[in-house]
Amino acid sequence: MTTEREPRRSRRALVQKLQAQETALRRAPESLAPARPTFRALFPDAADDVDPDDVVADELREIPDGRPWVVLNLIASVDGVTSVGGDTSALSHGADKAMFASLRAMSDAVLVGAGTLRAEQYQRIGLDERKLMARRKRGQADIPRLAVVSRKAEFDLASSVITGGHPLIYTTEGINEMRAMQVEVVAELMRFPGDKVRALSILSDLFDRGCAVLLCEGGPSLASELFNVDAVDEVHLTISPWLVGGGPAGLFPGSFSRPRRYELRGVLESEGVLFGRWIRRRR
Ligand SMILES: NC(=O)c1ccc[n+]([C@@H]2O[C@H](COP(=O)([O-])OP(=O)(O)OC[C@H]3O[C@@H](n4cnc5c(N)ncnc54)[C@H](OP(=O)(O)O)[C@@H]3O)[C@@H](O)[C@H]2O)c1
């Protein structure tokens, strides 16, 4: 009896185990996938479950003559602090990363200062399938090209963000020749006269390369230079729900040549984080 019953019981147990495994596998993609942050619109109209990809892509952008439309994306604590312990990781979480990805997905190029590249954990720019398809539909390259501004070009040339995309490096004629040769193995080096690269020279070069929408991810020094030549057309400021203290008096170092008026275009909220969007009012 036992000899007949045992196999039947173990067969039933095996079937139950396989069924449990199948159910777990069917559930796995959902439970293993990172939870997608839910955004709601607060302004101009209230709406639940809005997609930041759509919000960002739907903005009407009038590309200026001779330079790209410049979008600046920054994050700050409630008290205006832009980095904690040398980078933004303490301020930026899931919802901000989702907005970050949406902004990258609609841009032709991403511009950063060398200070940001050194401080932040920049990885190869990659976009999910949906964003990739949307870019192809709009006739854009699969990923936005990275452009870095730097006098010294002293950052990790072996990092995936450099090796994975043949970035543009905007530098001055004063760059160390040995360093320049190393950079030219993995990137396209653009040298400009003077002790710093003029912001408008960068924008004009990017425009000539077909960049219509440029996303600047900072840092504050580079953003100030763009503001000073009145070349920031759209500002995305994420307010992270932290009071940090001890920060600089403003988001940007130094003072601007003059204040410039921006028009509030939209406010989103997700996970207690606020996302403001302003457009430069030029008339
Ligand atoms: N809260 C945010 O959204 C946000 C965003 C980005 C960065 N950050 C934080 O900001 C900090 C870095 O700030 P930062 O203002 O120093 O960064 P940055 O603007 O990214 O970098 C400054 C550096 O960029 C290069 N550079 C900028 N303008 C140049 C020009 N016209 N010509 C030639 N080179 C130029 C110089 O690099 P060389 O030194 O190579 O000459 C300069 O030292 C980090 O702590 C980072 O985490 C915060």
Q: Which atom of ligand 1 is nearest to the CA of 224?
A: 19
Res. 16 pLDDT band, cuts 50 70 90: low
Q: Report the C-alpha gap between 173 and 177 in whole angstroms.
A: 9
Tokens found for residue 171: 């530098």
Contact 212, 71 (CB under 8 A): no
pLDDT higher at 251 or 103 = 103
Q: Locate 240 and state its tokens.
A: 């992270």
In the predicted model, is pLDDT for residue 29 greater than 60?
no
The residue-averaged pLDDT of 89-104 equals: 94
Are 153 and 208 in a shared domain? yes
Residue 218: CB within 6 Å of ligand 1? yes
**What is residue 126's predicted lDDT score, i.e. its pLDDT?**
87
Instruction: Indicate the top mutation candidate among 77, 81, 82, 92 to test ligand 1's pocket, ranked by most ligand atoms within 8 A of CB.
Output: 82
Residue 33 pLDDT grade (very low, low, confident, very high; cuts 50, 70, 90) = very low
| Shortest-distance atom of ligand 1 to CA 76 | 1
Rounded to the nearest angstrom, the distance between the alpha carbon of 187 and the centre of ligand 1 is 19
Q: Are 72 and 276 in contact (CB under 8 A)?
A: no
Taking only the tens place, the pLDDT of each residue in 192-218 is 999 999 999 999 999 999 999 999 999
CA 87 to ligand 1: nearest atom: 47
Same domain membership, residue 138 and residue 14: no
Rounded distance between C-alpha atoms, residue 241 and residue 256, angstroms: 27
pLDDT at 253: 79
Ligand 1 pocket, residue 239 CB under 6 Å: no
Q: In what order do the strands lie in the sheet with 69-77?
A: 47-50, 39-43, 262-270, 273-280, 234-240, 69-77, 213-216, 109-113, 145-149, 168-172, 188-192
- Radius of gyration for the alpha carbons in the chain, expressed in angstroms and rounded: 24
67 shares a domain with 43: yes
Are 24 and 57 in the same domain? no
For residue 23, the enclosing domain spans 1-33
User: pLDDT exceeding 90 applies to what percent of the chain?
Assistant: 77
The pTM of this model reads 0.89
Measured distance CA(238)–CA(230) in Å, rounded: 21
Ligand 1, atom nearest to 172 Cα: 33
pLDDT tens digits, 134-171: 999 999 999 999 999 999 999 999 999 999 999 999 99
Select from 103, 151, 203 the residue to mutate for testing ligand 1; criterion: most ligand atoms less than 8 Å from CB.
151
**What's 203's domain CATH number?**
3.40.430.10
